[in-house]
Structure formats: structure tokens, C-alpha cells
Structure 1
Amino acid sequence: MANKKLIWWRTAFQLKGSVITAIYKRVIGCGCFGVLVSLLYYFKIPVSQPILGSVIPSIVLGLLLVFRTNTAYERFWEGRKSWGSIVNTVRNLARQIWVSIEEISPEDKKDKIAALNLLVAFAVATKLHLRSEPVNPELEDLMQHSKYTKLKMMNNPPLEVAFWIDDYLQQQYNRNCLNSYQLTAMRELLNMLVDNLGACERILKTPIPLAYAIHLKQLLLLYCLLLPFQIVEELGWWTGVIVALISFTLFGIEAIGLEIENPFGYDANDLPLDTICHTMKRNINDLTSLIPSTRSHRESQN
């Protein structure tokens, strides 16, 4: 219990992953403006205008912020579901390739391992594609050099990797190493990978409408600037502090929405895509260390 309390306090004051660094200048600015209004009120200048509270009802601003945050989190969660589906589909397709495709010649096992590495390459290429990064040596270790060179010239590297996997499956079908039902099942899994790629691209290329983002920022700024005139009569010199606290709350909620609406980057609140890809690579390595019972039986007979 004591450890949980310690973690709670540590999290509450943690800067990494928070939005404080993104909003502190605006919060300080609003607080200083509140102090200025307090100073004017102290010198008997008629700045107290409680009626300004009806200009932007707090419930309207709150609903806009909730809608903004929910929309951003929906994008974040859809991205996480798509990557979760990529992980599961890679595992299922890798298992089917490793177990179902027969090995006729000694080179077949190497070809199967190369195909499984292409599944990991698909995930890595998807990660780089979503981050608008070029093909890098992280992919070179997962494929032949000729494929790596060709991949660097592609506009959509994950689709090219998917094509190579599909081409491998078709070759194995033509060699009678798998039947038509197995080929259909594997291609359905491959289609799921491409579908998840498209879902991630939809998130990336469909930002929050600009007019909505601009209008929300304008309302936030207007609300925080009008707030000191509403409360200075009751709070006096505390106006700046209270305005800073309220602006910290409002700007923070809006900043959280901005932080998570594109979940594919390197921010602390983005999806851990590097870790996810490394996990898939370890899963494939573990799988290739296993020997299917049919192959084990065949080897024992030989």
C-alpha cells in the first residue's frame, strides 16, 4: 500500500509525459494578466465586470474540450487496436507458414525463415511509414540486400513487403507445398495486415478539422482573458493565482488532445512501436527454434 502511495505521488509530480512543458508559458501569461487586472482594480479603475461570465458559458467550453479529448483518444485507441491486430496476425500467419508449408528441398527452411522475417519487416516498414521516415538499416537485417535496395525506392514500403510475402505463398502453392485452403487462409491473414496498415494511414492522414481546432483555441484564450474581470472583485490579489490554475486545467486538457491524436511518433504518450516490433522479432525467433512434429517425424525416419 505504501509503495502504491509513493507511485501516486511520483506520478503526480512527473514532468516526462505531462503537458506542463507545452502549456506553462500560456499559464504564466494568463496569471500575469490576472495580476495586472488586480493591480488596476487596486487603483480603483473599474475593471470588475462579473457580467462577462455569460459571454462564454463554462458548460459550453467544457463540452467542447470533452469532445476534443474524446476524439483524440478515439484515434489513439484505434491506432492501438490496429497495432494489436498486426501483432496477432503476424503471429498467426508465421505459425501457419512454419507448420503448414512442406519442406521439399534443403533450401526450403531458409526460405521459410526469410518469409517469417518479412512479416517482421512489414511491421517495421509500417512503423517507419507512419513516422514518415525513410527505409533504414533496421530493415536490412530482415531481408536480402537486393530487396532492401529496392524497398528504399518504394513510396509505400509496407505494401511492397506484403507483395513479397504473397509472392512467396503463391510459389509454395505452385510447388504443391501447401493446398488451396491453406493458401486462402494465409492470404486472408495477409489481407488483414494490409487492412490494419490502411487503418493507421487513415488516422495519420485525417487530422482534426482545422476550423474546429482554431475555434477551440480562440474560445480558450478568450475565456482565460475574460476570467480576471469576472472574479477580481471577490478575489483581489488572488486573481492571478486562480486564473493561472484555471488556465492550467483548460490548456492542459486541450494539450492532451493534441498529444495523443497522432499516436505513431516518439512522444512519451505515443504508442511504443519500437517495443512492439522488437516483441514480434523475438516471437519469430522463438518460433523458428521449434520443430513441427511432422518434420521431426520425417527427420527421424531419415
Structure 2
Amino acid sequence: MTVEKPSWLQVALQIRGSVVPAIFPRLSLCTGLGLIVSIVHYYGYDLPQQIFASVISNVAYNLVLGLLMVFRTNTAYSRYWEGRQIWGNIIINSLNLGRKIRVLVAENEPIVQESKAAAIKLLSAFSIATKLHLRRMPVNKELETLLTPSQYLELKDAKNPPLKIALWIGNYLKQQQIQNRLTTFELVEMNAKLDNMVEGFIGCDRILTTPIPPAYTIYLKRVLLIYCLILPLQLVANLNWWTAPIVAIISFILLGVEEIGNQIENPFGIEPNDLPVDEICHKLVKNLEDVITTDLPSLTNS
């Protein structure tokens, strides 16, 4: 089955996922100012065009604006990409740990299979709890089907649900080792996977709680605002009534790039340009369900 990709033109014109709705008020302001400047110029009123034109054409000013825009975009994208890598590591370690629990924990009692399934569900719960924690959302019904009633109630009162779930998983593994269902070497190896999951959670939380320094953000917005407000005064002498459309195009480019940085610097939200964390967690839940339900072939000596 082939997935039909949208055409280049469809992607270029689509609204969902674009920054147009976010920047539209600012874009309208700049365009309206361009129109006002054109009207004032048309009726022959003097405008301080030369003074403002020298500001915008100044190499230092343009260099500062360019460097700030590049810094803003690169910093935001590095946070976005790091967040995706961290979530990839959480998924890899969750699947590997689930596989090891399913295969390596010895089933010498009937109840063991049920406890294994419950432990593997905790791996799914860890990813969903991490997603909710990063979005500053409370424990909800997404977790209810993956936990026992007592666990669900306890988790609702926990200050750090992902860490609480990690403690439950670690305790399960230790109990299996005490009951001789895991060797010490297997316990160490599986705990390493759990440690990597917790490190991933901490890494995502670090991205979320370490914003770009406000001084950079404020300064960029001020420089960009000055540029967009002065731009019509520089262009009106040569463009006349074309000033507003040209200002709209240039403002769209600059404001759009700046807004992209705003939207992707926190990649764990629910906006179209954020990471598809919901889909990532849903796929992990389905894969771990397969780990639980897949029948393992019996191992016999040939």
C-alpha cells in the first residue's frame, strides 16, 4: 500500500502547520502601516525617509538582525531535534526492557505471567505519564487501563508520576531476582534499560524547564519590530502604492521565521509543529501489547 504524498503546491499553500494564523495580527499591523505611509506620501506630506532609510540600509543593523534570526532558529531547532532523539531512546529502551521481561523472567508459577503483563503495561504507562508531565497535565484516563485501581489512585497524588512508575518497575525487577526468576546479571542489564528511560524523562524535562534566555528573545523582537516599522518609510519614495504589498511580503518572511522558532522551542505540546508525542506513545502501547500477547515457542532440547 503506497501513501500518496501531497504535491509541492499543496504543501506550500496549506494553512495547518503554517505560521500564518500566528503572525497574521503582526502582519496586518505592518501592512496597514505601509498603506498609511503610502497615503501620507501621496498627499505630499514630508516624511523623514532619508533618516530611516539609512538605519535599515546600515550593514551593522542588518548583520545584527540576521545573526539574531539565525541564532533563534538554530537554537529552537536543536531543542526540537534533541527532544525527538530523547523520545527515540525512551521508546527503544522501553521495547527492549519489555522484551527482556517477557522472555527472561522465568514462569515457574501461573501468577507470574499476569505480573509480567502488568509490568510491561507499566512501561507504556511510563511514556504516557512522561508525556502528560511535560505538558503539565494531570494523570488522566489514558493511564487508567494500564494500571491497577490502587496504582491509578496512588499515581494521581504523586508529585512526579513518571518517576513513581519507574520505581514500581525497578521494584518488580528486584522482586523477580529475589525469587530466582532473574539472574543478577539479567537484573543489572534490565536496570540499565530502566535507567536510560529515566534519563530520557529527565532530558525532556531539562529542555522544557530551560527556556532560551529572555534577553535574546526580547532583543530580537525589538530589533525586528523596529525594522518592520521603519521599512515602509524607506520604500515609499520608490514604490508609492506598492509599498504595502512589498512590506507585507518582507514582514511575512521575517515574522514567519521568528515565529517558527517560537513554536518549536518547546517541542512537547499539542500544536501541529510540535513533536507527534501522542502518536509515538500510541505506537509504543500497541507494540508492547504485541509483546504481551505473542506466544513464545517452547524451548526443548533436540
TM-score normalised by structure 2 residue count: 0.94
Are residue 275 (structure 1) and residue 279 (structure 2) matched?
yes
Question: Whole-Å Cα distance in 2 between the matches of residues 52 and 77 of structure 1?
Answer: 36
Question: Whole-Å Cα distance in 1 between the matches of residues 28 and 215 of structure 2?
Answer: 26
Question: Whole-Å Cα distance in 2 between the matches of residues 225 and 272 of structure 1?
Answer: 37
What RMSD over aligned residues (CA atoms) do the two structures have, in Å? 1.5
The one-letter amino acid of 1:41's match is H
CA contact 2:84–2:275 (8 Å) conserved in 1? yes
For each residue in 1:22-59, what CA deviation from the matched residue of structure 2 results, as whole angstroms up to 9, or x when unmatched? 11111111111112112222222221223232456323
Partner of 1:26: 26
Partner of 1:51: 54
Partner of 2:73: 69
Deviation for aligned residue 1:60: 2.2
CA contact 1:122–1:158 (8 Å) conserved in 2? yes
Question: Whole-Å Cα distance in 2 between the matches of residues 190 and 148 of structure 1?
Answer: 21
CA contact 1:124–1:277 (8 Å) conserved in 2? yes
Partner of 1:197: 201
Are residue 42 (structure 1) and residue 42 (structure 2) matched?
yes
For each residue in 1:125-162, what CA deviation from the matched residue of structure 2 results, as whole angstroms up to 9, or x when unmatched? 00110010110111111011101100001111000000
Q: Secondary structure at the match of 1:57?
A: helix
Are residue 89 (structure 1) and residue 93 (structure 2) matched?
yes
Counterpart mapping for 1:121-270 below 5 A: 121-270=125-274
Question: Whole-Å Cα distance in 2 between the matches of residues 111 and 134 of structure 1?
Answer: 26
Question: Whole-Å Cα distance in 1 between the matches of residues 284 and 245 of structure 2?
Answer: 50
Question: Whole-Å Cα distance in 1 between the matches of residues 95 and 265 of structure 2?
Answer: 28
Question: Whole-Å Cα distance in 2 between the matches of residues 25 and 247 of structure 1?
Answer: 11
After superposing the two structures, state which structure 1 stretch, 225-234 or 144-153, moved more: 225-234
Question: Whole-Å Cα distance in 2 between the matches of residues 39 and 282 of structure 1?
Answer: 62
The percentage of counterpart residues that share the same residue type is: 48
CA contact 1:52–1:229 (8 Å) conserved in 2? no
Question: Whole-Å Cα distance in 2 between the matches of residues 39 and 23 of structure 1?
Answer: 24
Total equivalences in the alignment: 294
CA contact 1:130–1:201 (8 Å) conserved in 2? yes
CA contact 1:134–1:152 (8 Å) conserved in 2? yes
The one-letter amino acid of 2:255's match is F
Are residue 287 (structure 1) and residue 285 (structure 2) matched?
no
Question: Whole-Å Cα distance in 2 between the matches of residues 7 and 137 of structure 1?
Answer: 39
TM-score normalised by structure 1 residue count: 0.94
Question: Whole-Å Cα distance in 2 between the matches of residues 178 and 275 of structure 1?
Answer: 33
Deviation for aligned residue 1:262: 0.6
Deviation for aligned residue 1:287: 1.3
Question: Whole-Å Cα distance in 1 between the matches of residues 86 and 191 of structure 2?
Answer: 18
Q: Secondary structure at the match of 2:147?
A: coil
Q: Secondary structure at the match of 1:155?
A: coil
CA contact 2:133–2:161 (8 Å) conserved in 1? yes
The one-letter amino acid of 1:15's match is I
Where in structure 1 do 4 or more consecutive aligned residues deviate above 4 Å? none
Q: Mind listing any 5+ residue stretches in structure 1 that lack a counterpart?
A: none
Question: Whole-Å Cα distance in 1 between the matches of residues 86 and 221 of structure 2?
Answer: 30
